[in-house]
Structures are given as C-alpha cells and as structure tokens.
Amino acid sequence: MSSRPILHSSHWGAFTATGSAEGLRVDPHPDDPAPSPLLGNVAAALHAPTRVLRPHVRRGWWEDGPGPDPRRGDDEYLPVGWDEVLDRLAAEYRRVLAVGGNEAVYGGSYGWASAGRFHHAQSQLHRFLNCLGGATRSTGTYSHATGEALLPHVVGSIEPLLWPTAWASVERHTDLVIAVGGLPAKNSEVASGGITRHEVPGRLRAARARGAEFVLVSPQRDDLAAELDAEWLALRPGTDTALLLALGHVLVAEDRHDETFLRDCTTGAEEFCASLRERTPEWAEPITGIPAQTIRTLARRAAAGRTMITVSWSIGRTRHGEQPLWAAIALAALLGQIGLPGGGFGHGYASTGGVGRRSSSMPLPTFPQFADPLRRRIPVARIADALLHPGEEYAFDGERRRYPHLRLVHWAGGNPFHHHQDLRRLRRAFAAAETVVVHEPYWTSTARHADVVLATTTSLEREDLGAARYDDRLLAMGRVSPPLGKARDDYAALADLAGRLGVGERFTEGRDAAEWVEHLYEEWRAGPARRAGVEAPPYARFRDGGEVALPDGTTEHVLLAAFRRDPSAAPLRTPSGRIELVSARVAGFGYADCPGLPTWFAPAEAPDAEHDLVLLANNPATRLHSQLDHGATSQRSKVQGREPVRMHPRDAERRGLRAGQVVVLESRQGSCLAGLVLSDALREGVLQMSTGAWFDPVAGAAAGVDCGHGNVNVLTADVGTSALAQGCTGQHVAVRVRAHTGPVPPVTVFAAPGAVGAEGVSSPAWVPLRTIRSTEGESHYS
C-alpha cells in the first residue's frame, strides 16, 4: 500500500487512504460536513481471509459438466488458473448459445460494486454480453420497483423519483414535512456513484431552525432524528395507505382541498374523492392504531401551509407497495401544492444521500455498453421464479410475458444472497441453473453457490473516475493497493473471455483499463465539460490534482413546476396529460392486486396467533447492503457475533427475553439466529432487523436454523408487490421469537471455504480445497 495519501471514492463517501505499518488509514474528504461512519469498514476490503485470491471452480461442475445440481452451495471448490477457467467458460458459452440462444444467458448484475465510472460491474458485463448479441437481463430495482412501475402511469415519468425537488427548496419553503417511512440519517450516508458532501442532516436542521415542522409516520421513532422534534405517529406496519386515505377524506369532507388544481391538473378527481367517503379517520383508527382526532388534526395542519409529503422507498417493498405512493400523490394533489417550491410529494428523500441533491443535467464520463440487440427483460426480484419455472407465463405492467429458459447465469456487481427474499427458495433456484458464474472479491454466499468464481479486484486495487449526477465534483480515484493474489479487474477478465469468443477487439477497442479511464476523461473534458464551461485539466494534471468541480443543477422539480404553470403547454406523458388520480390504463389491466386508483389492502404480513410479531427488515446503519460486513464498523454492531434484532422492552419481558442473548426468529419461510437489543424506539409488537448479514447456513445447521449469523432474508417471502411492478416484498414479515438454547455456533462465513475458524474446527459444509495442476503451476489456497 502507498505510504502517501491516495484520494478515492466510495458509495458512502470520498476519502483518502494511507498505508502504514499499522494498516490502512482512511480519512474522510475535508469538505464533507458529516462523514459517514461506514468509512470505518473500508480497511476490511483488503482483508485476505475473506478474499477470493484466484479463480475457483466447483468440483461437481468441473468434473461432471454443467447441469442442474443440488450440490450447489454444498460442494467443494478447486483453485484453477485463469487460462484454464476462461477456456472452459468460453466453451460453456458456446454450448449455451448454440442450445438455447442468447436469451438462455442471464446477465445478473447490480450497480453497487464500485463508485467508479469505468469499473462499474453492470456496465462491464452488459457491454460484454451485448458484444455477443445480448442476453436476458433484469428491469427495475430491489429498492424502488414500485415507483418505477407506478409513476409513469400517474405522473408520466419516473422523474420525481430521479430528480425530486431539492433539499434546498424544502429548507427554504416547506412548513410541514409528513415523512411516511421516515427520513433515516443512516440511509442518507450512502449514494450510488459516491458522494463528497453529506448534506441531508444539515438541511433538515436548517429547515427546522427556520420553523418547519415534521411528522414521522413509522413504527420506529428513530426513523427521524430526535433533534427535529417530530411528532411520532407510530402506526402499525403496512397501514400507511389507510392513514393517507383518511387524511384525504378529511380534506374533502371539510372542503380543504384545492378544487382548481384538481380541475386543471388531474384526472379522475371526482371518482377518487367519492372513494374516500367511507375512509374516515374513525375507519382508519383501528387499522393504523392512530387516533381519529390525530388524523383530523394532521390533515388540517397540512392544508394550512406549504406541505411536503415524502414516501420512503422502503414503504413500497411490501405486498401492494404501489398503493401508499399513489395515495401520497393523490393527497398532495388534494392539497394542490404539486409543482410549488417545497411542496407536493417526494419519493425516496433520505433513502440515499443523493435524493434531493441539486442534480446537474451535465453528462458524466460513461463506459459505453452498446445497444442490446435482444432486449429481453425480467423483473429483477423475479429471478428465482425464472430459474424455477422456465416458460411459465406471468403478468407485468400490463403485459403477459413468459420466463425464458435460463441456462447460464453470469453475475457481477451484486450479491443476490443479500438482496433477494426467501433464501431457501433462492438456493433451489440456483441449483436449477446449468452454470453459474460469479465475479467476486469475497467468499460471499453468492460465490459459494457458483460453479465458476472469477477472483476480482476491489475498488481500492484500481484507478477510476468517481462522480455521480447529484454530486458537485469529479474525483480521480487512485489505486491504494496492488491486486491481492491473482485477482483481476472485471474488465481484464471479460476482455480475455471476449477474445476467446471472437469479440475481443469490439469489447476492448484496443485499450487496456488504464487507457480506457484516460480516454473517458479526455472525451468528457473535450465535450460535455467544455460545453458546460467547466475548466478540466488534462488527465495527467487531473490525476495529480484529484478533482474537478461540477456545476449545480436546479432546486425545483422541473417537470412538475412547468406542468403546474401551464398544464396545456407542458402536459405530462400520461394518457390524459394530467396527474392520474384514477388511471383507466391501470384499471384496464384487470389486476385484482392493483386497481385503477389508490386502494386499501390489509397487510399480507399481519401478525397472527402463530407468528405474533411483525419484523421490519430495513437497510443497515453499519454497512452498505451486505458490503464489508466483516469491517470494523459492522462488526461492532454484532451481538455475540450475530446480527442484532431490536425489540421493545415490554415485548421482551412478556417472553422472558433479555438484552444480549441469542434468540431464534422464525417465519413461514425460514429461521435464523440474532442477537437481542432492547429499544423503546419501536412500537410494541414490532421488531427491527437490518438486511445484509452474510448468509451462513453452516452455522445455521449447527444451531438447527437456516442461518446462524442473522441474514434476515431467510425469513422474508419471495412474492411480488403486485402484477403491476412485481417488486420485492422484503420489508415486512410476521415472525415469532424465542431464546436460543444450547451452544452458539461460530460464524463461518468470514473465512475462505475450508479455513479453520478461531475454535480450530473446520467448517463442516465448506470442505477443504484440494490442490490441482494449473497452467500457472501447482496452486494452494492460503
């Protein structure tokens, strides 16, 4: 490692890294007013025991050939040379393309592997596959698939999701913020593509100091900072839509709605208002647990000033998750403030640090992916369905589609054994594939369920360009460390594979990775930067200087502000050109689980006699998704080495449980261990446990559960939000909890397969690696 400070960037912030005898020192960017504690995990990126230091293959696939295999996830791994594995993989690609065509390949990829513009795993893999003629890919996200599907029908585009009114406008103009799902500071520490300045906490404090008031709608009190002095409406999980409809009822019944806005800017207002007649606060009180008078008072406060209604992405990750967002837009329309500075609605404020930043329209350096000639897509959260049910018909956003027969899964830049639901079902789905290829720096469970594990570098081991559309600078991401072991960049591995498949020149265009980074920068400097008046130095000086300032964007939501000023001159891209409180198009789809207007559905994961608690499975405060779970910040949060689960003290007392003990959580889908933490920041009857603990079925088997470490997605159900969005529903799950009895097994997933743990016992399912001959000589894993 370099002994001088090297500027770098990550999804949780820019920093400098300095090597020393004590290890890697990480310091936040000096301009960051509120650096993320997640920087404390960075040093673990170079932690060798968790790293895949050279390519590996699963013995069953290597010796017996491709095909569905129940041993996937329980087989042993063999270290091999790069030439050997790429030769074999190229042959497998040729076989699959000949037998099933391009749609038989699934290019599974997610964008969180690196904040870099070039070493973006999704772009790398998609470019490679497009050179081959395309592949089946995913559409939508695990984060906000409901918004991606619903917003085009209601407001004509997903622009309110991508570019909402900026925080600066809320800070200056908003009187009341109704935060459905909260504005959790922990989520705002992370932003896809990197973030130099963490501004959300400061913006919220400034709004409060000016006099803005906040109402938190969430079962968790700490979904909004205590310093904002918010009123806490601790509603029952999954009942947000009922509350929003009851608020709308009050506005209409008391003639506090804006009839002019409804007439000029919406369609379906009369039908929607009629649907609210029975949705009284008294109707909502037993559903939500919020007193009827509290609901009435809130509706009157909302109508009395400039109100912003925010809906977190998490609210959509439930059955019928489209409904609370649609109900919030309808409520904002009743108030008549959509398109006004600081008013209307937002989707995802504080869900990441980038939402609500002043986004610039200036293009950024981007690694071109080419056009996809196949254009075959499946909803991202339906991958297990596709693998388990090839050829089966399904509904999605007004269409009838069929799942392709996926034979080869090629995954880069993501960890489905973190972000997917019902991991027992996902294991069966992975077993159904013929070949699974994974690019991984670490021995995650995705790697441990693959046939081919291509050892990839981390962001710290390569140079890149760091920038995001909402950030205010382009950073030179320097190389902090040389590659560990025989790890290669995704680009180098795919370039060699492309060469074997006859598309190497098209993929590389004759450049190596360093040449591509310089080319992308210089192309941007001579084009978009110059046109925007940005003074960008030549690449050599940019690398030395470290960063280039970028222009700010607008503070208002451009599309909705222009529409409000003149709906006829700037119509929305909906069938009516207006905000569709009632959508004839959606109604025409005939979906029982997503009708043509905002509708109340009872929670699918309500507690019952057998599973008497509701667990909130939200994003973690101590890591980004599952990344660097072995890092110092993440590890400090563990309880007896398990992922913590929070419970209200009275719920624990009724069950004879105490803080600090290991408990068993059980749902209809599966079970796991967790470490108990008590907190009165939760509504009674509600638990909270974060996603992202590395899945450990080995420790689970020793404890008689599915995961011995605490991966919450062994508990959650793998069903779609509705036929409209087919999004994930991993936010809520009904569970029961009991004390774990017997020894607590050691966690096995932070060592390479077959490594000896601290107790000196070899992991029973990840058997020791065997030595085989390779073109690079005899190889041992150490």
| DSSP code at position 339 | T
pLDDT of residue 481: 93
Residues 57 and 77: their CA atoms lie apart, in Å, by 5
Tokens of 290: 């919020």
Structure tokens at 115: 């904040």
Which residue type sits at 350? A
Average pLDDT of span 181-186: 94
Report residue 585: phi and psi, to 5°.
-65, -50
Q: What is the mean pLDDT of the chain?
A: 93
From the list 6, 111, 119, 115, the residue with the least C-alpha distance to 517 is: 119
Task: For residue 123, give Cα distances in angstroms to 120, 127, 359, 413, 593.
Answer: 5, 6, 22, 10, 34
**Does the CA dihedral 267-269-275-280 come out positive or negative?**
positive
pLDDT > 70? residue 774: no
Both tokens of 188, joined, read 């705002």
- Torsion angle of C-alpha atoms 227, 232, 237, 239, degrees rounded to 10: -130
The confidence score (pLDDT) of residue 22 equals: 81
CA 169 to chain centre: 26
Cα 544 to chain center, whole Å?
A: 33
Confidence of residue 556 (pLDDT cuts 50, 70, 90): low
End-to-end CA distance of the chain: 20
Residue 165 above 80 pLDDT?
yes
Whether the pLDDT of residue 761 is over 60: the answer is no
Residues in CB range of 684: below 8 A, 6 or more apart? 648, 650, 651
**Per-residue pLDDT reduced to its tens digit, 19-68:** 887 889 999 999 999 999 999 999 999 988 899 999 999 999 999 999 99
DSSP result, 209-258:
HHT-EEEEESSBGGGS-GGG--EEE-PPTT-HHHHHHHHHHHHHHTT-S-
- Indicate if the pLDDT at residue 770 is higher than 60: no
**Distance from C-alpha of 500 to C-alpha of 502, rounded to nearest angstrom:** 6
Q: Which residue has the higher pLDDT, 249 or 472?
A: 249
Distance (Å, rounded) from C-alpha 52 to C-alpha 512? 23
Catalytic residue among 112, 470, 694, 781: 112
Question: pLDDT at position 2, please?
Answer: 66
- Does residue 380 have a pLDDT over 70? yes
Quickly state the pLDDT bin for 384 (edges 50, 70, 90).
very high
* Residue 762 banded pLDDT, cuts 50, 70, 90: very low
Which phi and psi (to 5°) does residue 324 adopt?
-65, -35
Between residues 185 and 738, which one has the greater pLDDT?
A: 738
Q: Where in the chain is the domain with CATH 2.40.40.20?
A: 613-739
For the cut 50, the answer to whether the pLDDT of residue 724 exceeds it is yes
CA–centroid distance for 224 within its chain: 20
For residue 694, the number of C-alpha atoms closer than 13 Å in the C-beta half-sphere is 24
> What was the pLDDT predicted at 773?
29
Let me know: does 332 contact 255? Beta carbons within 8 Å.
Answer: no
Residues 393 and 391: their CA atoms lie apart, in Å, by 6
* Each residue's pLDDT tens digit, 655-673: 999 999 999 999 999 999 9
Give me the residue label for tokens 């509504």.
Answer: 683
Question: Mind listing the pLDDT tens digit for each residue in 235-266?
Answer: 999 999 999 999 999 999 999 999 999 999 99
Q: Is residue 694 annotated as part of the catalytic site, yes or no?
A: no
The rounded distance, in Å, linking the Cα atoms of 411 and 447 is: 10
Query: Whole-angstrom Cα distance, residue 204 to residue 183?
Result: 9
Q: Is 112 part of the annotated catalytic residue set?
A: yes
User: DSSP labels for 483-537?
Assistant: PSTT-B-HHHHHHHHHHHTT-HHHHHTT--HHHHHHHHHHHHIIIIIHHTT----
Q: Which fold has domain 164-358+572-589?
A: Dimethylsulfoxide Reductase; domain 2 (3.40.228)
CA distances from 724 to 149, 323, 590, 595, 605 (A): 7, 11, 10, 10, 20
| Predicted confidence band of residue 625 (pLDDT cuts 50, 70, 90) | very high
Query: Facing residues of 9 across strands?
Result: 14
State pLDDT tens for residues 669-694: 999 999 999 999 999 999 999 999 99
pLDDT at 758 over 70: no
Strand 452-455 with 579-580, pairing: unpaired
- Helix 240-253 vs helix 281-288: crossing angle, to nearest 10: 160
CATH class given for the domain over 613-739: mainly beta
Q: Name the fold adopted by 51-142+376-549.
A: Rossmann fold (3.40.50)
The letter for the amino acid at 133 is: G
Which DSSP helix (H) or strand (E) runs through 11? none
pLDDT at 468: 87
Given this model, what pLDDT does residue 647 score? 98
Mean pLDDT value across residues 407-435: 96
Q: H or E stretch including 630?
A: none
Q: Provide the pLDDT for residue 769.
A: 33
- Angstrom CA distances, 582 to 153, 251, 479, 727, stand at 10, 18, 53, 21
Return the ∠ at Cα 399 (arms to 398 and 403), rounded to 5°: 140
**SS3 call for 734:** strand
Dihedral-angle region of residue 601 (phi above 0 means left; psi in -120 to 50 means alpha; beta otherwise): beta
What six digits make up the tokens of 121?
Answer: 């795993």
Average pLDDT over residues 371-395: 97
Greatest pairwise CA separation for the chain in angstroms: 81
pLDDT at position 565 over 60: yes
Token pair 């419970």: residue: 647
C-alpha 300/C-alpha 281 separation (Å) is 13
Which of 100, 10, 190 lies closest to 405, judged by CA?
Answer: 100
Instruction: Tell me how far the alpha carbon of residue 389 is from its chain's centroid.
Output: 25
**In the 8-state DSSP scheme, what is residue 76?**
-
Judge whether residue 400 has pLDDT over 80: yes
The CA distance from 24 to 21, in Å, is 8
Query: Which of 169, 177, 76, 12 is closest to 553 using CA atoms?
Result: 169
Residues of the chain with CATH 3.40.50.740: 51-142+376-549
Q: pLDDT tens for residues 258-297? A: 999 999 999 999 999 999 999 999 999 999 999 999 999 9
Residue range(s) occupied by CATH 3.40.228.10 in the chain: 164-358+572-589
pTM (predicted TM-score): 0.94
Question: Which is catalytic among the residues 106, 110, 163, 167?
Answer: 110
Q: Which residues contact 425 (CB under 8 A, 6 or more apart)?
A: 384, 388, 669, 718
Tokens coding 764: 């029973």
Q: How far apart are CA 261 and CA 461, in angstroms?
A: 55
Angstrom distance (rounded) from CA 214 to CA 231: 6
What are the residue ranges of helices labelled H in 239-351? 240-253, 259-265, 269-275, 281-288, 292-304, 322-335
Helix 145-155 vs helix 322-335: crossing angle, to nearest 10: 40
Q: To the nearest whole percent, how much of the chain has pLDDT over 70? A: 95
Of the candidates 336, 309, 335, the one whose C-alpha atom is nearest the C-alpha of residue 324 is: 309
Q: State both tokens at 139.
A: 């559409």
Q: What is the pLDDT of residue 134?
A: 98
Sign of CA dihedral 12, 54, 425, 91: positive
What are the counts of helices (DSSP H) followed by strands (DSSP E) for the chain?
27, 29
Two tokens at 232? 């806490």
Overall average pLDDT of the 689-702 stretch: 97
Non-local (6+) Cβ contacts of 245 within 8 A are 276, 279, 284, 327, 598, 600
Could you tell me if 164 and 151 are in contact, meaning their C-beta atoms sit under 8 angstroms apart? no
